[in-house]
């Protein structure tokens, strides 16, 4: 058993079992490292084939975070160790993104219901896990975001697929600004589908154990829907994204990159604290990440989920050698000066031509895509 992920099997009233997977690195806000991804992947495969497991509960230790993201320290070390400057020579990134994306894809297609308890911080790699669960439950403490623009990356873990399917340009807004959402906005956009108060979580867990689960996954999904509906209120107070929905929709009509960027920049002077914070995050973020995220969302909209993971894998490896990702982690976590030197330094320099470098496969020409088999 991995100490960074704790697994339990709990008996339920109907004779079947509940599989519990708990992310267990609360001091790092349960950020995902390679060990955790590998352990989760192997255990979920085992439970999927175990007829005694009716459903899975995916939760996290501590109340601060479900998962704040991926293993940035490990990825930074891998980038520093790669002296050749070739993306394929970053061995840690090759393995980490391979296993993480396989884990996320497995959850998206899992044969049994998976309840994701998205309380506290749900960001980056945590969004990858959470959005892949069949039953996504947020709480009054949920803080959801894809803030990769602040570290020179892009919304990966299938994030480009998810964001590209949101209505009215909302996905582009979230990718470019890293805006944080609470429960109400998550439910409004379908990023979560149920709400349970943090203080009711113990009651929810007890109800899961009292349920008479069956041998049919479809029936169990319906039972779980009914159970969660009992906790979810009819309405919640309107969230800030809902309050600005029409303005964002109007600004992002047509999905023109320059127009979107100009409007976000103008919002930095807004009297609304949430909108101004989102705009200032965009202004401080990597211009290259803005262009890259925009380019990826335009492509992901027309691809299958498996194709998106394969595309993101190519781009993630290239991010490891193009500079901004390493610089972003350095400024945020290593030197902590919060003064990244982005290259390109301006949006005008982050052109369509410039961004093409990220879409070049890093492996030898006679090598198959490492994720070629994920939808087999």
Q: Is the pLDDT of residue 2 over 60?
A: no
Which DSSP letter does residue 72 get? H
Tell me the C-alpha distance between 363 and 252, whole Å.
36
Q: What does the alpha-carbon distance between residue 71 and residue 26 come to, in Å, rounded to a whole number?
A: 14
DSSP 181: B
Question: What is this structure's pTM?
Answer: 0.97
pLDDT, tens digit (0-9, with 9 covering 90-100), for 151-177:
999 999 999 999 999 999 999 999 999
Dihedral in degrees, nearest 10, Cα atoms 107, 109, 112, 115:
40
| Distance from C-alpha of 63 to C-alpha of 121, rounded to nearest angstrom | 9
Q: SS3 of 278, please?
A: helix
How high is the pLDDT of residue 1?
Answer: 46
pLDDT of residue 323: 87
Residue 314, φ and ψ in degrees, nearest 5 = -60, -50
Distance in angstroms between the alpha carbons of the first and the last residue of the chain? 28
Residue 357 token pair: 């470098």
Range 344-354 average pLDDT? 97
Q: Specify the CATH architecture of the domain 5-359.
A: Alpha-Beta Complex (3.90)
Give the burial string for 260-280 (b: 16+ CB within 10 Å, else e). Answer: bbebbeebeebeeebbebbbb
Decide: helix, strand or coil at residue 317: helix
Domain range annotation of the chain:
5-359
Chain mean pLDDT for the chain: 97
Q: Centre a 10 Å sphere on the Cβ of residue 145 and count the other Cβ atoms it contains.
A: 23
- Per-residue DSSP letters for 10-62? EE-TTS-EEEEEEE--GGGTT-B-HHHHHHHHHHHHHHHT-TTEEEEEEEESS
pLDDT digits (tens, 9 = 90+) for 197-253: 999 999 999 999 999 999 999 999 999 999 999 999 988 999 999 999 999 999 999
């Amino acid at each position: 058993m991995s100490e960074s992920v704790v697994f339990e099997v709990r008996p339920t009233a109907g004779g079947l079992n509940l599989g519990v997977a708990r992310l267990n690195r609360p001091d790092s806000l349960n950020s995902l490292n390679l060990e955790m991804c590998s352990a989760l992947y192997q255990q979920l495969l085992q439970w999927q084939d175990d007829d005694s497991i009716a459903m899975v509960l995916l939760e996290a230790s501590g109340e601060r975070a479900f998962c704040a993201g991926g293993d940035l320290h490990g990825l930074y070390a891998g980038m520093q160790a790669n002296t050749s400057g070739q993306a394929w020579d970053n061995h840690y990134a090759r393995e980490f993104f391979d296993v993480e994306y396989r884990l996320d894809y497995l959850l998206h297609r899992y044969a049994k219901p998976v309840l994701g308890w998205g309380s506290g911080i749900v960001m980056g790699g945590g969004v990858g896990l959470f959005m892949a669960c069949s039953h996504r439950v947020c709480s009054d403490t949920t803080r959801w975001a894809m803030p990769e623009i602040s570290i020179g990356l892009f919304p990966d873990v299938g994030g480009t697929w998810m964001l590209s399917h949101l209505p009215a340009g909302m996905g582009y807004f979230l990718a470019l600004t890293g805006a944080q959402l609470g429960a109400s906005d998550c439910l409004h956009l379908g990023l979560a589908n149920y709400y349970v108060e943090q203080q009711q979580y113990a009651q929810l867990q007890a109800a899961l154990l009292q349920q008479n689960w069956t041998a049919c996954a479809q029936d169990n999904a319906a039972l779980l829907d009914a159970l969660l509906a009992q906790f979810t209120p009819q309405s919640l107070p309107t969230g800030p994204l809902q309050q600005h929905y029409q303005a964002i929709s109007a600004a992002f009509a047509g999905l023109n990159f320059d127009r979107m960027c100009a409007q976000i920049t103008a919002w930095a002077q807004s009297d609304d604290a949430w909108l101004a914070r989102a705009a200032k995050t965009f202004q401080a973020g990597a211009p290259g990440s803005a262009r890259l995220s925009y380019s990826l969302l335009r492509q992901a909209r027309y691809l299958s989920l498996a194709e998106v993971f394969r595309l993101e894998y190519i781009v993630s490896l290239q991010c490891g050698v193009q500079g901004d990702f390493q610089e972003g982690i350095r400024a945020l976590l290593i030197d902590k000066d919060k003064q990244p030197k982005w290259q390109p330094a301006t949006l005008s320099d982050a052109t369509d031509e410039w961004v093409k470098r990220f879409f070049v496969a890093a492996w030898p020409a006679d090598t198959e895509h490492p994720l070629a088999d994920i939808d087999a």
